[in-house]
Amino acid sequence: MEPEKADNSLMNLSLCYERKPQFEFKCVLADNSFSPFEHLNVSSSTEKCHPFRKEIGALIDNPPEHSFWTSFTKEDTSKDCMWVDSSLQLRELANKLAEQNVFAVDTEQQNLRSYLGFTALMQISTREEDYLVDTVALHDEMALLRPIFTNPKICKACLVLEKPQKSLEGLLQTICNVDTDKTLRTRDWTERPLPPKMLRYARTDTQYLLWIADVLAAELKELKKYDECIRRCNKVCLTLYAKGQEDFKLANREQYDCRERAWKLCIWRDLMARIHDESREFVLSNEVMLEFARKVPTTYDVFKSTADQQRGGKIDEVSVIFLCHYDDYFNQIMSDKSVALETAFPLILQKCLGMNGTCGINLLNCSLLGNFIIIPFSLLVKKSGKQTSKVSQIPIRKPDVAVYESDGTLKFRCNHGKGQWYLKMGLAEQTQIHGEYALQLKTETLGGPEKVEKKKDLCNSCGKEGIELNRHRIVPP
């Protein structure tokens, strides 16, 4: 049955391709095509490796010694703050940073309203001044800072100390006694001008970092882990960026008879996100997508009702992209099983092409997206010794359980079985946080690669003291 069309006011196709700040970027470092990311090649080598592998390797072999900010006081937070949004200001900043032996840097990202994400703001702090760099306005000029960030005298730090909280918010609280509003992290950082509270949040992220770095460096040296930390930090710098891919494992969560629909929805959502330069989650959330796979709406009213139930009763929380391409989704993908996706996708792209198209996608982007890479459905279905049938369906998976630390910070999510293990071992207790069933840890978790803490205690067999024993493992086997 062909789905009924929605009201024209909801299906205004020009609404789904709104202008966004990234459309003004002239220097496109990463496009939304299916091709892999092209890294900077400074040596004209055909080998795919980090462009600054030699420089970072030298730092790993000979870790440098750094002094951060040992005399920091609260009065230092009142230093000047400069907003940088012109090429001249950026050049002046680069010249000032070239004179520094260390400075603090942090960034704010725009990941929800962009397919690959981009940096919307950069915060830099020296001992004398704070800078907020408008990386949206200066996107095409940011290469001016490359000589500064490739300078081996600039330190990068990671956490080797066994701290209960390893986020910047946790360090600000424990070392500096400063609280920050965590909800601002997910706000739209492309907004201009930024509200005062977002400016204060961004500035706070870096103005304490040099002090925090000095405190942590002193602890690392006391534990004789400073050189190890520097080496690990530089190994992190050797990590190469790669474009993210759609999580097709979502399709395997479903029962066999609706896995193929979930697979089609995953691929369609990924294409829509690439066309409109939006994140997949913005186009269609995982919850709504899997619900549509379980029960395909036959009318627009059924579609609206399903979306309402999964998104808190608000139809405006379902993206306008899905509303605008509702007909394409059902007519060309879901209604006719005989239509291959390789055939349907070019038709959808053609409808989006040009100023008269539904989305106004330009010819360049259309050609970039023309080379589809579609993972066959047969590769996603788990193979077994016998042929899979609808009778042997995978049982419905219970939702993951959120596990919180004692201070209310979300630590991780685990499946129902592991959650029961925590309760059985007395490591956690049941609670309700944000209206959902959750677990709260009774002990201080260790996290990171060090999951086993050692302590001196009585031996279980002989009762002697001074024998080093392994404490219980926080993560179950």
Give the class (CATH, top level) of 53-237: alpha beta
For Cα atoms 359, 360, 364, give the angle at the middle one, nearest 5 degrees. 120
In a 13 Å sphere around the CA of 243, the CA atoms on its Cβ side amount to 19
Helix (H) or strand (E) holding 308: helix 300-310
* Prior bond of 376 cis (ω within 30°): no
Percentage of the chain exceeding pLDDT 90: 13
pLDDT for residue 477 is more than 70: no
- Looking at mean pLDDT, say which of 102-106, 265-269, 287-291 comes out highest: 102-106
Residue, of 152 and 224, whose pLDDT is higher = 224
Q: Is residue 182 a contact partner of residue 188, using CB atoms and an 8 Å limit?
A: no
3-state helix, strand, coil in the chain (%, to 5): 40, 10, 45
Tens-digit pLDDT profile for residues 4-15: 443 433 344 456
| 209 vs 120, residue with greater confidence | 120
**231 or 18: which carries more pLDDT confidence?**
231
Rounded to the nearest 5 degrees, what angle is found at the Cα of 373, between the Cα atoms of 389 and 44? 140
Q: State residue 371's pLDDT score.
A: 67
pLDDT, tens digit, for every residue of 88-113? 999 999 999 999 888 889 999 998 88
Q: Which of 120, 150, 171, 169 shows the shortest CA–CA distance to 237?
A: 150
Predicted TM-score of the model (pTM)? 0.69
Distance CA 186, CA 178 (A): 19
| pLDDT surpassing 50 at residue 160 | no
More confident residue, 421 or 9: 421
Residue labelled with tokens 């995982």? 286
Compute and round to an integer the Cα radius of gyration of the chain.
26
Helix-helix angle 341-352:256-276, to 10 degrees: 30
How far, in Å, CA of 376 to CA of 20, rounded? Answer: 33
Residue 108: predicted pLDDT: 92
pLDDT score of 402 more than 80? yes
Q: What is the mean pLDDT of the chain?
A: 73
Residue 326 has pLDDT above 60, yes or no: yes
* The predicted structure's pLDDT at residue 85: 96
Burial bucket for residue 264 (CB in 10 Å: 0-12, 13-18, 19+): buried
Which of 40-54, 211-225, 253-267 reaches the highest mean pLDDT? 211-225
pLDDT tens per residue, range 171-211: 776 777 777 777 888 889 999 999 999 999 999 888 888 88
Tell me how far apart the alpha carbons of residues 362 and 277 are, in angstroms, rounded to a whole number. Answer: 13
Identify which of 140-144, 291-295, 300-304 has the greatest average pLDDT: 140-144
Tell me what pLDDT residue 7 has.
Answer: 41
Distance between CA 320 and CA 327 in Å, rounded?
Answer: 13
Q: Average pLDDT for residues 337-356, to the nearest whole number?
A: 69
Write the DSSP assignment of 387-442 as a string of letters: ---SSSPPPPPPPPEEEE-TTS-EEEEE-HHHHHHHHHTTSEEEEEETTEEEEEES
Question: Which position has the higher pLDDT, 318 or 430?
Answer: 430
| d(C-alpha 210, C-alpha 408), whole Å | 27
Kindly tell me if the per-residue pLDDT of 457 is higher than 80: no
- State how far Cα 108 lies from the chain centre: 11
Residue 212, pLDDT above cutoff 80: yes
Contact between 149 and 101 under an 8 Å Cβ cutoff? The reply is no
Does residue 461 contact residue 453 with C-beta atoms inside 8 Å? no
Q: Confirm if 293 and 33 have CB atoms less than 8 A apart.
A: no
Contacts of 423 (CB under 8 A, 6+ apart): 429, 430, 439
Tell me the C-alpha distance between 226 and 389, whole Å.
Answer: 57
| Confidence check: pLDDT of 278 > 60 | yes
Q: Is the pLDDT of residue 65 over 50?
A: yes
Q: Kindly list the domain boundaries of the chain, sorted by start residue.
A: 13-25+248-380, 53-237, 401-470
Q: Return the closest-CA partner of residue 401 out of 423, 383, 380.
A: 423
Percent of the chain with pLDDT over 70: 62
Q: Amino acid identity, residue 74?
A: K
Burial (Cβ within 10 Å: 0-12, 13-18, ≥19) of residue 368: middle
Q: How confident is the model at residue 24 (pLDDT cuts 50, 70, 90)?
A: confident
Range picked from 143-152, 246-255, 421-430 for highest mean pLDDT: 143-152
Write down the pLDDT at residue 98.
Answer: 92
* CB-CB contact of 299 with 4 (8 Å): yes
pLDDT for the residue numbered 377: 65
For the residues 62-87, what does the mean pLDDT come to? 73
pLDDT of residue 373: 66
119 touches 107 (CB < 8 A): yes
